[in-house]
Structure 1
Amino acid sequence: MLDFTSFSQSALYNSAQFFVIVFSELVLLFVLISMLVSWLQLKIPKARVQALLSGKSGYMLAAGLGAITPFCSCSTLPMMVGLLRAKAAFGPVMTFLFTSPLLNPFLIAMLWVIFGFKLLLIYSVAVLAVAIGSGVILQTLNFQRYVTLPQPANSCCGAAQDSMSPPPGWSFKGLAQHAIKETRSFLPHIALGVAVGAVIHGYVPASLLAGLASSNPWWLIPAAALSGILLYVRASTMLPLAATLVAKGVSLGTVMALTIGGAGASLPEMIILKRIFQWPLMLAFVLVVLGTAILTGCSIQLSLG
């Protein structure tokens, strides 16, 4: 007879542990990345940022910036807010948002070691093509009108002050205080997002996907992509598990679709992102990640089997 009490206690403990660790990690990352963005704003004028991330070359630069920043989907957001406040072009900023969690040095190294260069090449080309193409389309359709940045904070004198503008004559203490203030406005969304991820982490058994995937039906790649979005699965965490699933008979296309869905647009990230994006842009964002996951999964499946 199953001991549901023991399972419930174990699941509760796993969920609580997940929440504490991930919430603490994300808050720390938000503060550190906000400090980095503020420091860069002091060193690089807004006009320079705007010039670099505009035009056709801006998309390639944004993709390159995403590829060298080892951020997860949630911790990408402070950098994205900083770029938008620096008046960077919207399309390249979206390309950065799509690329950063899906194509970074850690992920590239793990893909190469675990699955080989051919899969890495297919994966990289598909992610870059969709990320750049989607950025161009979203800017052409003027989706930037659906962005709502955090409101400027009021100073003690009642005058509006841009909460992302770094204080003049920077110091470490000043940048830290400024970053903490910016992070505080995201705390409710971070807490809710991580709480959802913690419940899924603690109460949804990992064997559920493995059992479903063993038969490899035709609809499994789209289903895996959607399942990844509903979970909180980082690519660096998912790839070792993906190797195990492949060894058990799950197709490469399926595990890569699951990895891209979870890394590119996890449910916790979308809850935090709702602080910035209105529903039309949020829907477009999810559809792009889903499309990337399905396209890449199918390409890998057809090429490598």
Structure 2
Amino acid sequence: MVDIFYPLQWIADKLTYEILGIASDTRLASSVNFVIYDVMKIFVLLAVMIFVVSYIRTYITPERTRQVLGSKKGIRYYFLASLIGTVTPFCSCSSVPIFIGFVEAGVPLGVTFAFLITSPLVNEAAVAALWATLGLKATVIYIISGVILGVLGGYLIGLLKLEKYVEDFVYKMKVGKQSVEDQKLIMKERAEYAFESVKEIVGRVWLYVIIGVAIGGIFHGYAPEGILEKYAGKDNLLAVPVAVLIGVPLYSNIMAMIPIVESLIGKGLPVGTALAFLMSVTAVSLPEMIILRKVLKKELIVIFVSIVALSIIFTGYLFNVLL
């Protein structure tokens, strides 16, 4: 199969071994080459995927989403909400107004959570970085897992009838409606919006990418071979839950974590354990829970975190068996 990133590897080799003059058989060369290649590859995929997804997003507004999902029941709507979440990467600070808007519009609580679980978990920036670092197979697995986690978590919350644990004021609020007619943009305007999204998102995450890749490069070149496989390998039955327990309270930009996880996998960390760690950091981060506490009672927060954490642990074990 043709390696579409071969030109980037050629550039990385040229810079590392010829321009910088680092001997190819040294740990320093391994680290530097890793950093140069990964930074270029991540930024290329970031630009392409952010542009494509941002263009698609011009057709999927919060108002249109509420119209599609409002007062709808059935498992297919959990899937639909989760799929919409993959192309609408609202940050955690947007969780409260989105939650209020969905509940006020009559979207069932479980369907709303299916959206909220998947939305921060699967986004174009994370997918691009995963593809660039872990490959297409792991990326597809991550996306499918994110969608399934959203469906499963939302369905269980809906099944438990937990509406009483939503703060009363949420049901009484009226969120302003955005006219769908205002979203009728021409192709050029959509492309301009997508290009601006590329500049905004890359401008926001570039430093995290470089820091993450740099740390990953250190692990790649200097970490002892097999040390993680020994202490956190498939034979360690507690490796996955420990990784999730570490990830849940951790607040870190996922763009910085992905290159580090890539390097750790290269040193022996099982893919399932690594993806479980990434999911726990992204799906149930402490800052998002603090923000959601404004509209959810603590009982629902605990139930939500428990369901998602257990689902991620199961997913990690499953992938460690399959991969």
> Under TM normalisation by the shorter chain, which class is it?
0.5 to 0.7
In structure 2, give the amino acid aligned to 1:164.
V
SS at match of 2:120: coil
Contact 2:95 2:292 in 1 (8 A): no
Please report how far the alpha carbon of residue 57 of structure 1 lies from its aligned counterpart in structure 2 after TM superposition: 2.9
Cα RMSD (Å) of the superposition? 3.4
Deviations 1:86-137 (A, max 9, x none): 1111111110011111122222222222112222233333332232122222
The one-letter code matched in structure 2 to 1:242 is V
Q: 1:110 aligns with which of 120, 129, 145?
A: 129
* Deviates further, 76-85 or 88-97: 76-85
1:279 positional shift: 2.3
1:135 is the counterpart of 2:154:
yes
2:70 aligned with 1:50: yes
Distance, in Å, in 1 between the alignment partners of 2:287 and 2:315 is 23
Quick one: structure 1 residues 289 and 233, their matched pair in 2 at CA, closer, same or farther if it must change by over 3 Å?
farther
C-alpha distance 166-297 of structure 1, shift in aligned 2 (>3 A): same
Cα distance change, pair 119–299 in 1 and its aligned pair in 2 (3 A): farther
Q: Which residue in 1 is equivalent to 2:113?
A: 94
Q: Which residue identity does 1:135 align to in structure 2? A: G
Match of 1:164 among 175, 194, 200: 175
CA distance in 2, matches of 1:76, 1:96: 10
Report which stretch shifted further, 289-298 or 90-99.
289-298
Measure the CA separation in 2 of the matches of 1:284 and 1:222. 17
Which runs of no fewer than 5 residues in structure 2 stay unpaired? 1-57, 183-214
2:241 to 208, 222, 226: 222
Which of residues 274, 278, 285 is equivalent to 2:297? 278
Match of 1:192 in 2: none
The one-letter code matched in structure 2 to 1:228 is G
Give 1:239's aligned residue: 258
Q: Cα gap change, 1:300/1:86 in structure 2, threshold over 3 Å: closer, same or farther?
A: same
Please say if residues 84 and 93 of structure 1, whose CA atoms lie closer than 8 Å, have aligned partners that are also in contact: yes
Contact kept, 8 Å, 1:225 with 1:294, in 2: the verdict is yes
Indicate which of 80, 102, 113 corresponds to 1:61: 80
Q: Is the 8 A contact 1:260 1:292 kept in 2?
A: no
- Contact 1:127/1:292 (<8 A) preserved: no
- How far apart are 1:49 and its partner, in Å? 4.7
Whether the 8 Å contact between 1:95 and 1:132 is mirrored in structure 2 is yes
1:151 Cα deviation (Å)? 5.9
Flag structure 1 segments of 5+ consecutive residues without an equivalent.
Answer: 1-35, 153-160, 172-204
Q: For residues 151 and 133 of structure 1, what CA distance do their matches in structure 2 show?
A: 24
CA distance in 2, matches of 1:219, 1:236: 26
Q: Percent identity?
A: 30
Contact in 1 for aligned 2:95/2:291 (Cα 8 Å): no
User: Judging changes above 3 Å, is the alpha-carbon distance between structure 1 residues 105 and 40 closer, same or farther for their aligned structure 2 residues?
Assistant: closer
Post-superposition offset of 1:149: 5.7
Deviation at 1:282, TM superposition (A): 0.9
For 2:321, the equivalent position in structure 1 comes to 302
1:287 corresponds to: 306
Cα distance in 2 for residues equivalent to 1:143 and 1:224: 29
Q: Which residue of 2 aligns with 1:269?
A: 288
- Normalised to the residue count of structure 2, the TM-score between the two structures is 0.59
Greater C-alpha Rg? 2
Distance 2:88 2:65 in 1: 21
Task: Classify 1:45/1:232 alpha carbon distance in 2 versus 1 (closer, same or farther; 3 Å).
Answer: closer
Deviations 1:67-94 (A, max 9, x none): 1012344434432221112111111111
Aligned-partner Cα distance in 2 for 1:48–1:101: 20
The change in CA–CA distance for 1:290 and 1:122 in structure 2 (over 3 A counts) is same
Query: Which digits, 9 at most, give the CA deviation of each residue in 1:4-33, with x for residues without a partner?
Result: xxxxxxxxxxxxxxxxxxxxxxxxxxxxxx
SS in 1 for 2:248: helix
**1-structure distance, mates of 2:159, 2:62:** 28
Amino acid in structure 1 at the alignment position of 2:305: V
Distance 1:40-1:124 versus aligned 2 partners, 3 A rule: closer
